[in-house]
């Protein structure tokens, strides 16, 4: 088993099929991904929700980090909007949690990090929604009956599949789903970065930060 410096246990990367594991060192890549979740309070009070390294060969995330602070902000905003309140928030102190993707490409983690339902029934339900949306792209799709993490799972897999349709000269694309924004940034022909934010997070900050991390990753992958 692989133990990161963050204390999370995950399956070894060598067990992921068709991936050149000599090129994937989680202990090197994780800190780079976490840079994209670091708050920049002087520019915006909002924090991204998650960041992932995407395998374009497998069309799924290989390594992801969730922001506990970003997820909590999103819950606050949703609650305030439901009550007719403003978008002003007092961001709680939080941290970013590095995660490996499981075989279904879904975000996972222990219950103390993010309260995510477990079990085959949940995964099957999410996969059914993804399959149905595959042929019916809906920019306004948000399922109010699932938590933000599950919404990100569904939207992320839709975006990864669409990324293959981009023009060769496009280094990045932005996808909008209701209150969510998902940014894809090319690393090389095999990998891409994916950053998930809410609509309040400035696009200029997201793209510029992804550009910097992408340049570093391209020299390591």
> Where along the chain do its domains lie?
2-108+116-218
Question: Order of strands across the sheet with 180-186?
Answer: 96-100, 60-67, 50-55, 191-198, 180-186, 172-177
Q: Which long-range contacts (CB under 8 A, 24 or more apart) does 181-186 make?
A: 181/206, 182/155, 182/156, 183/207, 183/210, 184/54, 184/159, 184/160, 185/210, 185/211, 185/214, 186/214
Percent of the chain at pLDDT above 90?
Answer: 20
Query: How many residues are present in the chain?
Result: 221
CATH topology of domain 2-108+116-218: Beta-Lactamase (3.30.450)
The encoded tokens of residue 168 equal: 């060769």
Please name the residues in contact with 49: beta carbons below 8 A apart, sequence gap of 6 or more: 66, 67, 70, 71, 74, 148, 152, 180, 196, 197, 198
- The mean predicted confidence, pLDDT, of the chain is 69
Residue for token digits 């995330």? 61
The answer to whether residues 195 and 36 touch, using CB atoms and an 8 Å cutoff, is yes
Of 38-42, 99-103, 156-160, highest mean pLDDT: 38-42
The answer to whether residues 144 and 178 touch, using CB atoms and an 8 Å cutoff, is no
**pLDDT confidence tier of residue 81, bands split at 50, 70 and 90:** low
Of 110-114, 124-128, 140-144, highest mean pLDDT: 124-128
The pLDDT of residue 143 is above 90? no
**pLDDT confidence tier of residue 149, bands split at 50, 70 and 90:** low
The pLDDT of residue 106 is above 70? no
Q: Between 131 and 58, whose confidence is greater? A: 58
What is the signed CA dihedral for 117, 79, 39, 215, rounded to 10 degrees? 60
Q: Which of 74-88, 101-115, 126-140 has the lowest mean pLDDT?
A: 101-115
CA atoms lying within 13 Å on the CB side of residue 145 = 4
Cα dihedral across residues 131, 137, 142, 147: positive or negative: positive
| CA dist list (Å): 190 to 1, 62, 72, 93, 149 | 26, 12, 32, 35, 25
Mean pLDDT of 187-197: 93
Of 79-83, 105-109, 146-150, 191-195, highest mean pLDDT: 191-195
Strands, DSSP E only, in 110-169? none
């Amino acid at each position: 088993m692989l133990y990161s410096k963050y204390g999370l246990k995950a399956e070894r990367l060598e067990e992921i099929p068709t991936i050149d594991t000599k090129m994937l060192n989680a202990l090197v890549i994780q800190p780079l991904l976490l840079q994209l979740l670091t708050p920049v309070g002087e520019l915006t009070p909002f924090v991204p929700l998650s960041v992932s390294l995407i395998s374009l060969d497998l069309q799924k995330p290989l390594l992801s980090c969730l922001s506990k602070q970003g997820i909590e902000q999103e819950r606050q905003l949703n609650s305030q909007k439901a009550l007719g309140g403003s978008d002003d928030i007092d961001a709680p102190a939080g941290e970013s949690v590095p995660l490996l993707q499981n075989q279904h490409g879904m975000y996972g983690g222990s219950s103390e990090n993010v309260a995510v339902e477990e079990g085959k029934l949940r995964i099957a339900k999410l996969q059914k929604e993804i399959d149905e949306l595959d042929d019916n792209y809906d920019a306004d799709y948000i399922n109010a009956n699932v938590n933000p993490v599950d919404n990100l799972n569904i939207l992320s897999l839709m975006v990864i599949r669409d990324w293959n349709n981009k023009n060769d000269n496009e280094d990045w694309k932005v996808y909008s789903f209701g209150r969510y924004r998902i940014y894809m940034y090319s690393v090389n022909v095999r990998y891409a970065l994916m950053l998930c934010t809410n609509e309040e997070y400035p696009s200029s900050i997201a793209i510029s930060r992804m550009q910097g991390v992408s340049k570093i990753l391209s020299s390591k992958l």
